[in-house]
Amino acid sequence: MNAVPLLRDVFGFDSFRPGQAEIVDAVAEGRDTLAIMPTGGGKSLCFQLPALMRGGVTLVVSPLIALMRDQVRGLREAGVEAHAMTSGNTEEETEAVWSALSRGEVKLLYMAPERLASGGTQRMLREAGVGLIAVDEAHCVSQWGHDFRPDYLRIGELRAALDVPLAAFTATADAETRDEIVERLFGGRKPTIFLRGFDRPNIHLAFAVKDSPRKQILGFAGARKGQSGIVYCGTRARTETLAQALREAGHSACHYHGGMEAEARRETERRFQQEDGLIVAATVAFGMGIDKPDIRWVAHADLPKSIEAYYQEIGRAGRDGAPAETLTLFGPDDIRFRRTQIDEGLAPPERRAADHGRLNALLGLAEALGCRRQALLSYFGEEAAPCGHCDLCDTPPETFDATTPVRMALSAALRTEEWFGAGHLIDILLGADTEKIRARGHESLPTYGVGRDYDKRQWQAIFRQMMGHDLFRPDPERHGALRMTEKARPILRGEDTITLRKDTIRAARGEGPKVRTLVSEEDAPLLSALKAKRRALAEQAGVPAYIIFNDRTLIEMAETRPRSLDDMAGIGGVGAKKLERYGNAFLAVIAGEAEAMHPSRRRLAGRTEGALYDRLLAAQAELARGDDGTGKPMQCPAGVLARVSRQKPRDMAELERLIGERHAERFGEAFLSILEDG
């Protein structure tokens, strides 16, 4: 069947957008297809049109009920028999879907991935004559992606069971995610891959350092009054307070986050689709798949999670091709919050390291030296000329040759064997007199005090920009210690130079009061790692996290860094039972490995009897073959040594009753000498 008449008659378009025709042909021909297209690039048409060209039912797996309802409504208005099977269906709606399927009238059946868990779903889909599976927002299958949906993992099994072609669509271009999609959805069978350009030239890009962020957002919205917009926030609470502030400023505004009742979320989605000029202050729970074409602006009140997340979220603006604007605010606390989120995640170390790299890429965009669009497209592997249509093209930043301070920072990291975070390295560069510097002898380093030309806030801005240039990455296995990347080495060796933004460093002088944190910046990554371990143990046991250890206990662990179970026993909130149950697990986080300790000894941890046990054990090891080392090997069981440590016998007769005559003959004098001193 020819696609062009259907394109015009059903969808009302005279021609395809760039790149659509080839994808439509591939899907219509039944080829397994993976299409990575820019947000707003017309992905939906690339499976809706082939569905009309092919026989049978096309199953569309989509993550959001609101999106499905919206697309079904649009298709039905265009005369296409489309239905949705979701948890939000009424009994009547579900019955209508079954009836239409039994009559063979359905062309597109939208289904939430959660429905695939139902035992009868595969049988029902086979009987309905499903001939194609289309997966929208396919990056949700990536286990460590920012929109991971566990139920997406069932799609690959369904494709294999039905033995039909599959077409997957996403706007996320990350190579790791692409590989994961191929493995999980296509079973490793290589699909035809379409990688389309990522430029959205109608969107104006802008970033700003936070300076009264609420005022900045209100000012941005005020200059665009009456236009539909989204303000993305890092926390649920901020969505509510910001929506209230926008309403008080005379805007039509509401909030949206995952903690709201389902009905309230649906009402917000309905209003946003239907009302002109509505602003939604939302977490990232809002907007995946939002198909409203006339969103005129997107603002981020807080830094997004990654450059991919940023690209997807700003891509919800200007889908109609008309001019749209963005503003992203960022500051030190945002970056600290995002680092903590990564460190406290349950991803393996190599994935967390990659996530720190993605965040570095976003920081590089935030503190770019030239055209932002060039920097953004470069990340996605595309070359572009300066766009003349971003804040840095409008007003180029002031820069300076930062080779000397950057080499100082890299040298400080190298001379401390890359075991420390920015806070301690800055203290070294400033020549600070801290307990940590004295304890480690770092005041004798050649780099001690060489950076006094800059103050602490300016050094923080330099380190932040170095992260943006991906010269440093936090090492998850070293609790956030900064490790140099290969990009840094030519600068350190004097083979390359680097330019940084002077305006960002100068602005650092005027930053507001420091937000109070639970621990120092140096100890924060370890606290995050301890919290991640606590969460994993709590989930395993099915109890609230505080039941394992409360925050105060973890803070003390992060600050004192106990090296043994004896040290751990001295931490507030670590009782004998918890020490026995969890001590080794948390020591492994702090020290990299937990000491091996017999349960009898572990019960004495943190007590004087524990130290006594250790001395008795050492004496026993020396005398295991007698005074001359030629006797038959002999030792007391650990439980017996623990009993001796607790009861502390004072003479040979009492000791002999505890350890027996033969053992007393070999170890008695040594043991009594230790007990007398102990």
What's the CATH number where 405 sits? 1.10.10.10
Per-residue pLDDT at 593: 45
Q: Mark out the alpha helices in 416-550 (DSSP H runs).
A: 422-430, 435-440, 456-468, 489-492, 502-507, 524-541, 545-548
Q: Are 437 and 429 spatial neighbours (Cβ–Cβ below 8 Å)?
A: no
- Whether 371 maps to a domain, the answer reads no
* Token couple for 532: 């991640």
The Cα–Cα gap between 435 and 651 comes to 47
Long-range pairs, 98-107, Cβ under 8 A, ≥24: 101/57, 101/128, 104/129, 105/81, 106/57, 106/81, 106/82, 107/51, 107/52, 107/57, 107/58, 107/80, 107/81, 107/82
Q: Which two tokens stand for residue 140?
A: 């949700």
Q: Same domain, yes or no, for 575 and 640?
A: no
Say what the pLDDT of residue 412 is: 96
Q: Is 356 exposed, middle or buried (0-12, 13-18, 19+ CB in 10 A)?
A: buried
- Assess if residue 618 is contained within a domain: yes
Can you give the pLDDT at residue 511?
39
Give me the CATH number covering residue 282. 3.40.50.300
Q: What are phi and psi of 480, to 5 degrees?
A: 90, 0
Are both 25 and 77 inside the same structural domain?
A: yes
pLDDT at 597: 55
Query: Would 392 be classed as within a structural domain?
Result: no
Clarify whether residues 50 and 79 are in a common domain: yes
- Whole-angstrom Cα distance, residue 323 to residue 230? 15
Tell me if 531 is assigned to some domain. yes
Q: How far apart are CA 126 and CA 109, in angstroms?
A: 13
Q: Is the dihedral of CA 44, 45, 50, 55 positive or negative?
A: positive
Q: Is residue 351 part of a domain?
A: no
In a domain? residue 338: no
Q: What is the DSSP letter of 502?
A: H
DSSP state of 390: B
Distance of CA 316 to the CA centre of its chain: 21
Q: Which residue has the tokens 């102990």?
A: 678
Give percent helix, percent strand, percent coil of the chain, each to the nearest 5. 50, 10, 40
Task: Assign residue 576 the CATH number of its domain.
Answer: 1.10.150.80
**End-of-domain residue from the set 545, 567, 596:** 596
- Residue 508 CA to residue 403 CA, distance in Å, equals 19
pLDDT reported for residue 404: 96
Residues 6+ apart with CB under 8 A from 472: 413, 463, 466, 482, 483, 484, 485, 488
Q: Kindly give the parts of the chain with pLDDT less than 50.
A: 289, 508-516, 593-596
Instruction: Tell me how far CA of residue 26 lies from CA of 6, 19, 50, 80, 335, in angstroms.
Output: 16, 12, 9, 21, 42
Phi and psi at 207, nearest 5°, equal -125, 155
Domain CATH number, residue 637:
1.10.150
Instruction: Pick the last residue of a domain from 171, 195, 219.
Output: 195
Rounded Cα distance, 648 and 343, in Å: 47
Q: Rounded distance, CA 314 to CA 287, Å?
A: 10
Contact of 45 with 3, CB cutoff 8 Å:
no
Strands (E), 283-336: 297-300, 324-330
Asked if 655 and 588 sit in the same domain, the reply is no
Strand 297-300 and strand 324-330: pairing? Answer: parallel
Task: Give the pLDDT confidence score for residue 510 in this predicted structure.
Answer: 38
Cα–Cα distance measured from residue 34 to residue 375, given in angstroms and rounded to the nearest whole number: 25
Q: Which residue has the tokens 């800059």?
A: 454
Closest CA to 139 of 345, 288, 257: 288
Residue 369 included in any domain? no
* Alpha-carbon separation of residue 334 from 151, 328, 347, 462, 522 (angstroms): 31, 11, 21, 16, 16
pLDDT at 529: 80
Is residue 652 situated within a structural domain? yes
Cα dist from 84 to 70, 112, 140, whole Å:
10, 8, 19
Look at residue 504 in the predicted model and tell me its pLDDT. Answer: 67
Distance CA 489, CA 56 (A): 59
Bridge partners (DSSP) of residue 204 are 325
Judgement on whether residues 176 and 293 belong to the same structural domain of the protein: no
35 and 129, same domain (yes or no) = yes
183 and 291 belong to one structural domain:
no
Q: Provide the residue range defining the domain that includes 586.
A: 524-596
Same domain, 22 and 141: yes
Of 526, 613, 610, nearest to 566 (Cα)? 610
Do both 92 and 175 map to the same domain?
yes
| Largest Cα–Cα separation, the chain | 105
The tally of domains found in the chain comes to 5
74 contacts 63 by C-beta, under 8 angstroms? no
Q: Are residues 592 and 635 in the same domain?
A: no
pLDDT of residue 669: 84
**DSSP, residue by residue, 26-81:** HHHTT--EEEE--TTS-TTHHHHHHHHHSSSEEEEE-S-HHHHHHHHHHHHHTT--
Question: 494 and 444 in one domain?
Answer: yes
Domain end point (choices 330, 354, 382): 330
Token code pair at residue 90: 């009424």
Q: What Cα–Cα distance (Å) separates residue 374 from each residue in 370, 479, 552?
A: 8, 33, 46
Asked whether residue 550 falls in the same domain as residue 658, the answer is no
Cα distances (angstroms) measured from residue 617 to each of 376, 614, 642, 643, 650: 63, 5, 10, 13, 18
